[in-house]
A and B are shown apart, each in its own frame.
Chain A
Amino acid sequence: MRAYIAARLGTAVLVVLGVSVVSFVLTFLTGDPAEIMLPPGATAAQIAKFRTEWGFADPLPVQYWRFLRRAVHGDFGVSLQHGQSSLPLIAARLPATFQLTMTAMVLAIVLAVPLGVLAATHRGGKIDLLTMGVALFGQSVPNFWLAIMMILLFAVSWGWLPTSGRGGWTHVVMPAAAIAINLMALLTRLVRTTMIEVLSEDFVRTGRSKGLREVAVVLRHALPNALIPLVTVVGLQFGYILGGAVVIETIFTWPGVGLFTIQAIMNRDYPVVQASVFILATAVVLINLAVDLLYVWLDPRIRVT
């Protein structure tokens, strides 16, 4: 097991290094940064001065090494728009995004598990059909459209919830629901499938034949086994959830990393875009690492081998 953990950590480090290369390369996609960052009509001398000052005249490997060394120290350069170091700007907005994505994840799981279990235990019946209908809707609805429709209904027409911003729990409900919908649909189908599989296994039959009540069989014996794949999938979906947050934060002007990054992208604020892509991708890598290790702990069969 120690070898497995070591190998998994090694992979994570490699991927983070790869993430740093991609974040670095993002700056060079448009060509010469000098032409973008300097005002149009800059003289050749000004461009040359800029390139030397900012280190763009050095060979790429040298520039990358400098980028990496600074990144390790949390220095991603100064935001072109805000004139401050970009990392603290992003760090200040992380809690808001964290609150939103975690609420969305919890919401998705809390809804998906009972729905999936109900569908599995009523397989082929009306409840199953209805649940799968809800899941298919959730898989197909564009979350940003759902967000707008919710605003129209719950905020504008009925005035139950605030349209935008961050404040009390009422502010979280709509953006979290909009992010959660696709994940909920996916998890509902997953729980249903795994529950159907688990319910056909021998230990479930044994449980039933020794006279356990059906509720106990389903909830105490079958469900925990069906939850293991759920953990993996939730971990794997974390990147999608963050992506969803980027779009949804813009709609609700939720003051998180997503909204901030979109604004940075629109303003071509490279240091912020670089830092944000690097940090969010690293977060996904770390979450996946944590999930894999959690998996080892949850599933004794892996722990032994």
Chain B
Amino acid sequence: MPTPPSFLARSLRLARRSPLASLGVLIVGLVVIAALAAPLLATTDPIDQDLAVALKPPFWMADGSLQHPLGTDHLGRDVFSRLVYGAQISLTISVLAALLGAAVGVAAGLVAGYLGGRVGTVIMRIVDLNLAFPLILLALAVVALLGANLRNLVIVMAITTWMIYARVVRGLTLTLREQEFVQAVRALGARDARIIARHVLPNVLAPVMVIWTLEVARVILMESALSFLGLGVPPPTPTWGRMLAEGRDYLTMAGWISIFPGLAIMVTVLGINFLGDGLRDLLDPRLRGQT
């Protein structure tokens, strides 16, 4: 029997076949590095105000300088430095929220699918209920009431994402439960918890990873929207959403304040979506080409 090609070999082949996925890896890699190396990359302190250099344009425009490569905002804060520090916030919140949501959703889906019955019905009703809410409205209301901080934002974002995993994992578990290898393990006397952990869970992880990637992108968009509305991580911490909101009043004279954070959000989300699509092709050929 020929050994299946290694993950690395398949990745390389995929990179050749799917330039978009490779581009995704590149973009996401750069954003992650920017976030991690923010203290090294930042040209000045991201919250330092210096009204003497307020509203300086990016370096390629007249009056711009490399001291502030992407210009400064109305308080003289360096846009580039705020962008790289903002990446930390966006990535931290979205990755943690997506992880928390995935953990809860996968657990709920496994239980609902494997045990079924009344417990399963109750879980799926809660999923329906959660899906009925305009999520951003729910998030806004909860954040406004509980207070905007990192922990609350992560929890609120997780509330908007767990249902998708629950639905997908439940569907997969329903099928897996009836398959012969699971029946065989059960006949051997394995306990339910062991069957779920050792035999069902590994078989649902591939689609979960794909959903997780795409959900990180969605959470970044939602976090920046909340932040834009003034309900993100509070100042002085720089966030992409608030930078964009603050630049609104200076659009005509200093458009760069709003344009760059918007581009940062878009490019990051685009990169993650490329990566997610590529991952889907790699991990689950059945889903190839689907939306």
Give the B-binding residues of A (Cβ under 8 A). 11, 14-15, 18-19, 22, 26, 29-30, 136-137, 139-145, 148-149, 151-152, 156, 186, 189-190, 192-193, 196, 236, 239-240, 242-244, 246-247, 250, 258, 261-262, 265-266, 268, 273, 276-277, 280-281, 284-285, 288
Quick one: which of A148, A193, A280, A284 contacts B251, CB cutoff 8 A? A148
A-chain residues with CB within 8 Å of residue B75 when the two chains form the complex: none
Query: Contacts of B9 on A, CB cut-off 8 Å?
Result: none
Query: Are A148 and B248 in touch, CB under 8 angstroms?
Result: yes
CA of A276 to CA of B138 in the docked complex: distance in angstroms? Answer: 11
Query: Which of B77-85, B129-137, B179-187 interfaces with chain A?
Result: B129-137
Chain B neighbourhood of A26, CB < 8 A = 141-142, 145
Chain A's closest residue to B225 (CB) is A247
Q: How far is the CB of A256 from chain B (nearest CB, A)?
A: 12
By a CB distance below 8 angstroms, the chain A residues around B146 are 29-30
A145→B265 contact, CB < 8 A: yes
Does B104 make an interface contact (CB < 8 A)?
Answer: no
Contact B132 A284 (CB under 8 A): yes
Q: Mark B128-167, 1 if CB is under 8 A from A, else 0.
A: 1101111111101110111000000000000000000000
- The complex places the Cα of A284 from the Cα of B134 at a distance, in Å, of 8
B residues neighboring A (CB under 8 Å)? 125-126, 128-129, 131-138, 140-142, 144-146, 217, 221, 224-225, 228-230, 244, 248, 251-252, 255, 258-259, 261-262, 265-267, 269-270, 273-274, 289-291
Q: Once bound together, how far apart are the Cα atoms of A266 and B230, in whole Å?
A: 9
Check A196–B132 contact: CB distance below 8 A.
no
A261 to B134, CA, bound (A): 12
Least distance between B216 CB and chain A CB atoms (Å) = 12
CB contacts (< 8 Å) of B125 on chain A: these are 11, 14-15, 18
Residues of B within 8 A of A14 (CB): 125
Do B291 and A186 have beta carbons less than 8 Å apart? yes
Q: A15-B125, A140-B273 are in contact. Are A284 and B289 (CB under 8 A)?
A: no
Contact of A242 among B134, B224, B259 (CB under 8 A): B134
Cα-based distance from A11 to B122 in the complex (angstroms): 11
Write the chain B residue with the least CB distance to A274: B141
Greatest chain A CB density within 10 A among B145, B224, B269 is at B145
Interchain residue pairs with CB less than 8 A apart (13): A145-B266, A148-B244, A152-B252, A156-B252, A242-B134, A242-B137, A243-B134, A243-B135, A243-B136, A246-B134, A247-B225, A250-B229, A262-B229
Asked if A148 and B262 make an inter-chain contact with CB atoms under 8 angstroms apart, the answer reads yes
With a CB–CB cut-off of 8 A, which chain A residues contact B258? 145, 148
Give the contacting residue for B145; candidates A19, A29, A196, A288; CB below 8 A: A29
Check B136–A142 contact: CB distance below 8 A: no
Q: Please, how many angstroms separate the alpha-carbon atoms of A285 and B129 in the complex?
A: 9
Query: Quick check: A193 and B291 within 8 Å, CB to CB?
Result: yes
Question: Would A141 and B255 count as touching, CB distance under 8 A?
Answer: no
Are B132 and A142 in contact, with the CB atoms below 8 A?
A: no
Shortest distance between the CB of A263 and any CB in chain B (Å): 11
- Set of chain B residues within 8 Å of A141, measured between Cβ atoms: 266, 269
Known: A22-B129, A144-B244. A240 touches B135 (CB 8 A): yes
B residues less than 8 Å from A18 (CB atoms): 125-126, 129, 132
Q: Which of B128, B138, B265 contacts A15 (CB 8 A)?
A: B128
- Inter-chain CA distance A17–B252, complex, in Å, is 48
* Contact, CB under 8 Å: B133 / A19: yes
Please, how many angstroms separate the alpha-carbon atoms of A239 and B160 in the complex?
Answer: 12
| Interchain CB contact under 8 A, B144 and A265 | yes
Contacts A140-B273, A145-B265 known; list 5 others, CB within 8 Å. Answer: A148-B244, A152-B252, A262-B140, A268-B144, A277-B133
Q: Which of B132, B274, B289 has the largest number of chain A CB atoms within 10 A?
A: B132
B228:A247 contact, CB within 8 angstroms: yes
- For B269, list chain A residues within 8 Å (CB): 139-142
Contacts of A149 in B (CB 8 A): 259, 262
User: CA of A170 to CA of B206 in the docked complex: distance in angstroms?
Assistant: 47
Q: How far is the CA of A30 from the CA of B217 in the complex (A)?
A: 30
Of B138, B217, B251, which one neighbours A151 at CB under 8 angstroms?
Answer: B251
Contacts of B135 in A (CB 8 A): 239-240, 243
